[in-house]
Chain A
Amino acid sequence: MKIEANVWQKVLGTPSVEIFPIIPKANCVSSNCYIFSAPDALVVVDPGASPEQTKQISQILTEALAISPRPVLVFLTHCHQDHSQEAGLELPAGIEVKRFAHQAGVEALENRDRNLTVAYLYPWNPEICTARFEGVLFASSPASEPVLQFADGRRFELQTEPITMPDGTTLKRQWLSLGAGNRLEIYHTPGHSACSISLRVGSLLMLGDLPFAANPGVCGLDGWNHADLLQTFRQVDWLLDVPDITVCCPGHGYCVSAQSMREKLRLMETAAANLTDVPLMDAERIGVLKIHADELLEYTAALLTIFSGRLYTVSYYLSLLEEDSAASRLLASLDIDQIDRILSDFRRIAEAFHTSTMPEWTVVLKGVQVARSLQKVLSAEHVQQLLDVSLVNRAQRRLDEFVNVVRGLQFLQMEEPGPVNKLIAELLRRVKEATVMKSTDLMEAVDDDQAFLQALTRRLGAHSPLRDIEFEFAPATQETNANIGAERLDDFLSTLMEGMAGIGVKHISIATRVASGHVEIRISSREQMDPTALGKGWLDFANRNLGWLGGSLECNQHGNAEFIIRLPALREMALS
């Protein structure tokens, strides 16, 4: 069964229920809404938070009520602002509306809890839903009434029938009749929030935000719980084994087959397994992540523009050699336009952020989306063959790191540290090796036009900006073991020195020394240079990264530029 937005359609697996899905472009401001028409009631699952959507829901309900007046039952998959706010349904006189949510959600709404409803994420300080919730689902207190009586005589009784899972756990279930043999089942599926529920009508299962619960930027929201989430993944996996459920309807984005949702949830379960110590995604953390997203994307955009530029340079020279078709093939092999569009979109969203009330969280989530799109483009095998591998790897590592940081994982301590002197010596040796032009690849390919062009392309594309730089290195005589991963330091120093080369520096001096518990690396240009020409975004990004490690970056200008990188010495750390 394929679910189409904005149209009534029969729900398979029920005698007579129809569904009208409202599926806006996926966003974090307002959720999807699913409206069901059953003989005894109209059911609204997640009204969402946009006034336009509330207006549309009111209109759809009003039309359905004109055909058959019935009570309206509103259910929340959870109490988050984007699902629950509902700007006030306008229904014909005499129509009764009763609302249902999990007890934890009802309490959060009654207490106007800005954390549990995640209202704090939205800078316009939204009002929390003030509607009364008569239907308290999975109530722990026996005082709550399982029967809801309507003025027209209809009554809805919540039946409680827990399911014992094969693994011995219990899936809490309630259900109520919608008339004429139709029923609505409700499962308690916590993890994304304590009040998360899933709802089943016939062949459809509405999961709320469970499919995103392990996503970077979503895990760690107030109310998120790792152990509950893992159990819910297992229980929903079992539910999806029931052949009668064929379609899953998420809280955001399109409905998908039960099979593909099952695969997605299994991937999520694997991703969630590591998330044992996720920090709370509070306003302060979101603010820091937003800045990090801005800086990282600026850094990555510069790297990718350099990649693209190198391909254009190669294509220019291929054209000069009257190899226009080879030049076109080269450019087509990496979808530069797609990369450019992804980055331009992000840049525009980030810029629009400064002049709008868009939540910072939106920028963080968009940053994750962009990072993942770029990771996909860069991991293609032909890209690795075409471009300077060290640049591609550098971009990949920063993107991975960003996604992990948003997710709450920092692997900084898992990197293998190394002696700084040795690492710098290796970096300089690598640059020197690249400087010595190897001609063997070209010579070997000379008899094969295609292979020759590929070798030529590789050579032109792998142009190292450091190859024309004259280096001086004065290493410290002491041990220089510092608390930084060797790859991270290599990335950092390479980017810094390539940036210097990019703005015309020809001579770079490097000196290391150990002082006050730190390994210090001084990198200076002989030529005049303004350090800020490297880009404020990159300097801030580097400082933040070094700060995480207990280090720092200092820039001085006395005509020439000097960068002082301080890294905590490993020996000192061990003593402390």
Chain B
Amino acid sequence: MKELEITLQHLESAVVLHAAGPVDSNTAEQLQEPLLRAAEGPTGAVELDLAEVSYMSSAGLRVLVLAAKALQKRGERLRLVNVPLPIYKILNLAGFTSFIDIKT
């Protein structure tokens, strides 16, 4: 079974996290730790690339909300890019597009 892999890219004005694999109750913690560390940092945008995420369960959504809350405290919004359409559909129907910037 393929597990989740997270790689980090530190750019001048942003931290970009690339996730690959399923984000569910077994793997969400692997995303939570680096994503929150970036979101709770003092400055800089945080972008999460979901191009290679095959599936996201509610455990993954929870991590996104935690990061969005942390970023909101310093007036930023979490950015999701390359979101696969099935995941985009769920995020949109769940109302996440109102507080997270989401691009397919």
Chain A residues within 8 Å of B, Cβ to Cβ: 301-302, 304-306, 308-310, 312-313, 315-317, 319-320, 336-337, 339-341, 343-344, 347-348, 351-352, 460, 463, 465, 498-499, 501-504, 530, 533-535
Contacts and interface: CB of A to CB of B under 8 A. Distances in A.
B104 to A, nearest CB: 8
B99 A502 contact: no
A305 B56 contact: yes
A502 B58 contact: no
B65 A530 contact: no
Contacts of B94: 305-306, 308-310, 312-313
B95 A503 contact: no
B62 A533 contact: no
Contact of B58 (A309, A317, A501, A534): A309
Contacts of A312: 58, 61-62, 64-65, 94, 96
B86 A309 contact: no
Contacts of A499: 89
Interface in B47-104: 55-59, 61-62, 64-65, 68-69, 72, 85-86, 88-96, 98-99
A52 to B, nearest CB: 23
A530 B58 contact: no
Contacts, number: 99
Of A313, A460, A501, most B-chain CB atoms within 10 Å: A313
A458 to B, nearest CB: 14
A344 B69 contact: no
Contact of A344 (B24, B72, B86): B24
A533 B58 CA distance: 20
Contacts of A310: 94-95
A313 B99 contact: yes
A301 B23 CA distance: 13
B25 interface: yes
A503 B57 contact: no
B7 interface: no
B26 interface: yes
Contacts of B11: none
B90 A306 contact: yes
Contacts of A344: 24-26, 57, 59
Given A309-B91, A313-B94, A535 B86 contact: yes
Interface of B: 1, 22, 24-26, 55-59, 61-62, 64-65, 68-69, 72, 85-86, 88-96, 98-99
A273 to B, nearest CB: 38
A504 B59 contact: no
B86 A305 contact: no
Chain A contact residues: over half helix, strand or loop, or mixed? helix
A383 to B, nearest CB: 14
A314 B2 CA distance: 32
Contacts of A530: 85
A172 to B, nearest CB: 49
A348 B58 CA distance: 16
Contacts of B95: 309-310, 313, 460, 463
Give the 10 A-B CB pairs with smallest separation, nearest first.
Answer: A309-B94, A308-B58, A502-B89, A313-B95, A533-B85, A344-B24, A340-B25, A312-B65, A502-B93, A344-B25
Contact of B1 (A313, A316, A352, A535): A352
Contacts of A302: 86, 89-90
A132 B25 CA distance: 49
Given A309-B95, A344-B24, A351-B1, A502 B90 contact: yes
A313 B96 contact: yes
A309 B56 CA distance: 11
